[in-house]
Amino acid sequence: MSTDSRHILGVFEDAIRHLNDDIRQMGRIARANLDHAVRGLLERNQDFCNRAIADDEQVDELEKQIDREGVEIIMKFGPVAKDLRRVISTMKAATAIERISDHAVALARRAKLISLREVITDTAGVQTIYELAAAMLKDAVSSFCEGNLESALMIQGRDGDLDAAYRDYNRALTSHMAADVPNIPTYVDLLFCARFIERIGDQSVNIAEDAVYLLTAMDIRHGGKLPESGVKSPDPK
């Protein structure tokens, strides 16, 4: 390999590494925004809510940066096979993370309203679905950045647990709402908060599906299945 070729390869690898670092940072900020929004809700703390809202701008900027970097890599290096999948999948994962942060912002805005009203005990029920969604988000981003196929494949099944917890919480809120009419506005806001968290789980599934596509070249969205051979060979060219 010539000196020029080695230099170009080194520049390309640095660009890919930087792209991966950006998506990791983006996921870290989005998780923090979710944490702050839920803490704001549970602790009736508007400062946490305001922090989640303000820090969403960092996620937005990182999404635009990843898009710029991805397009530049494609135009400059013309990557193929897994390298091209890396760029495309990272840009798609960035979109999912941006939406996750948007859901955290929406939750924080509802939490600010709730903090101004009478306390209701059902608010604490958010903790269960939050823990499930936060863990899914953390593991989805990690599986994408670390190339962990087994972890990525498990995310879909875990979404079923989140959906079940979300439905249980919805039923409880709806039941208590009928007996506590003065606090109906708060119950409605809590229903929205739970929905935002459930949607974060759905977006985490999207990130995990992007990881599977990156590692196997197989599209498992919308019920698509990964052949057994794909699990055994997670790094096709």
Query: What does the pLDDT read at residue 88?
Result: 96
Token duo for residue 123:
């608010």
Average pLDDT over residues 107-121: 97
* Per-residue pLDDT band at 220 (split at 50, 70, 90): confident
pLDDT recorded at residue 40: 98
CB 130 within 8 Å of CB 37: no
3 state SS of 156: helix
Long-range contacts of 180-185 (CB under 8 A, 24+ apart): 180/120, 182/118, 183/117, 183/118, 183/120, 185/113, 185/117
Residue 59 domain flag: yes
User: Could you report the per-residue pLDDT of 141-151, keeping only the tens digit for each?
Assistant: 999 999 999 99
pTM given for the model: 0.91
Please report whether residue 154 resides in a domain. Answer: yes
46: in domain: yes
CATH of the domain at 94: 1.20.58.220
In a domain, 82, yes or no: yes
pLDDT tens profile 31-67:
999 999 999 999 999 999 999 999 999 999 999 999 9
In a domain, 237, yes or no: no
Count of the separate structural domains present in the chain: 1
Provide the residue range defining the domain that includes 62: 3-232
- Asked if residue 97 is part of any domain, the answer here is yes
pLDDT tens profile 156-201:
899 999 999 999 999 999 999 989 999 999 999 999 999 999 999 9
> What CA–CA distance (Å, rounded) separates 228 from 237?
18
Q: Report the 10 Å Cβ neighbour count for 76.
A: 12
Please report, for residues 80, 122, 173, 176, 188, the alpha-carbon distance to residue 181 in angstroms, rounded to integers and kept in the order given.
60, 14, 12, 9, 11
CA distances from 48 to 73, 114, 123, 186, 219 (A): 37, 13, 16, 19, 38
Using only C-alpha atoms, the chain has a radius of gyration, in whole angstroms, of 20
Domain annotation covers residue 50: yes
